[in-house]
Amino acid sequence: MSTQTTDVDVPEAGDTGGISNALRDYSRRVRGGDVGSLPAVLGLIALVALFSILEGDTFFTALNFANLLNQGTAIIVLAMGLVFVLLLGEIDLSAGFAAGTSAAVLGVTLTNQGWIWPLALLAALVTGLAIGLFIGVLVARLGIPSFVVTLAAFLGLQGIMLLIIGEGGTIPIQSDVLLAVMNKNMPVWGGWLLWFIVVGGYALISLRAIMRRKAIGLTGSSTSVWVAKVLSLGIMLGVAVYLLNMQRQVVRPGRQTCVELGAVNKPVGCIPVIQGVPWAVVVILVLLVIGTFVLGRTAYGRHIYAVGGNSEAARRAGISVSAIKISSFMICSFMAAIAGVLLASRDNSVSPTTGGAQTLLFAVGAAVIGGTSLFGGRGRVIDAVIGGLVVAVIANGLPLVTQQSGIQFVVTGGVLLVAASVDAISRKRTSAG
């Protein structure tokens, strides 16, 4: 008795198939309500295409691309911190002025008190942690709704900023190191080295995860899907590094750059060379890696999702709900302190308006637009980056198309409302499924 064999390819244990199977699986998840950051990505592509068509000579340039990243850095960092609170189904309305208060402490200790910049920076970060601890204790221990607590902190921190700085006062930031974070760029070779580290690191970590899942018999992405993801990331980041490494100052005919003329006897009218990846991008990447690791690879991160999904079930499972809430608010305010330092670095000073105006609204909008659920239990740190880029593109591109600030506010509010609607609809579809 013989056994016939066929030439049909059977996926190995733990292999979900090729790119087509991965696309079908992703399509099923989207139809089931798990849209993730897809709307934000599609919106970002549409906005870039629209502004490039309408104002291509101004919007789609290396100089404006760098300015866009500079404008959105503080918002993105602030949104990263808000993700931790939103995952719990809570809100922090004071994050903007927590950033401003931390920046005020930085300015006073650095400029007025003459502290060295590492100690002044440490004081600003500790201020953020203290604010988060205060808010977290009131929310978790006393049971006061986070909306009320953070609204009170929103008002109170404005007063603290005025007391620290003085009404109408401005404190300059006198530190070349801190100012360089938002005003200087990496060398050209440093940008490509950063590209290699990011793409290579992602490739190795993702491949290791696939191999580990296959080794224990779990499903994992196929090699073709892994290659497609690595190539896509490499091309996308490579284009960004290439644009940022270009000379961003326009050199008109008959003019020369200061570098071409040498370091000696440079005329006043020579064109400075501005090129390279901004150091602020490195800050975002470092925080993104740390935040993604904490939420995706640690028990603490899983506890945050559990509390956000069902706090009572998490409590019965032995998770300290109050500790998770307090620590999440502390992380949010700590990230707000970093955002405050970035704002002070960009403006070269600290004033009572630092962290105010629309800073908080844009940060909350960035997190929600990126795909973080307002209902808790769903979201990633990368959502803040994607949503922050959407907000930055709107804030950067609309003034080029129209000078009416009313239209800019209406468009930004409309995008946020659409994102919240998509979140609510997808959540209903997921529950129904």
Q: Comparing 4 with 201, which gets the higher pLDDT?
A: 201
Task: Give the three-class secondary structure for 177.
Answer: helix
- Kindly tell me if the per-residue pLDDT of 313 is higher than 80: yes
Long-range CB contacts (within 8 A, 24+) of 36-39: 36/371, 36/383, 37/370, 37/371, 37/380, 37/382, 37/383, 37/386, 37/387, 38/371, 39/371, 39/418, 39/419, 39/422
Structural domain includes residue 212: no
Number of H helices, E strands in the chain: 17, 2
Q: Comparing 14 with 429, which gets the higher pLDDT?
A: 429
- Kindly tell me if the per-residue pLDDT of 304 is higher than 60: yes
Residue type, 138: L
- Kindly tell me if the per-residue pLDDT of 385 is higher than 50: yes
Q: Over the chain, what is the mean pLDDT?
A: 82
pLDDT score, position 33 = 62
Structural domain includes residue 255: no
Structural domain includes residue 27: no
| Percent residues over pLDDT 90 in the chain | 31
Taking residues 403-420, what's their average pLDDT?
A: 74
Taking residues 231-243, what's their average pLDDT?
A: 90
Residue type, 93: L
CATH number of 132's domain: 1.10.3470
pLDDT score, position 269 = 58
Range of the domain at 335: 38-184+278-425
pLDDT score, position 54 = 80
- Kindly tell me if the per-residue pLDDT of 271 is higher than 70: no
**Number of neighbours of residue 272 by Cβ within 10 angstroms:** 11
Taking residues 169-196, what's their average pLDDT?
A: 89
Domain count, the chain: 1
Q: List, for residues 17-76, the tens digit of each pLDDT value.
A: 567 777 777 677 766 666 677 777 888 888 888 888 887 677 777 777 888 888 889 999
pLDDT score, position 323 = 93
pTM for the structure as a whole: 0.86
Report the alpha-carbon distance of residue 188 to residue 46 in Å, rounded: 30
pLDDT score, position 119 = 94
Structural domain includes residue 14: no
Among the ranges given (38-52, 135-149, 213-227, 247-261), the one the predictor scored with the smallest mean pLDDT: 247-261
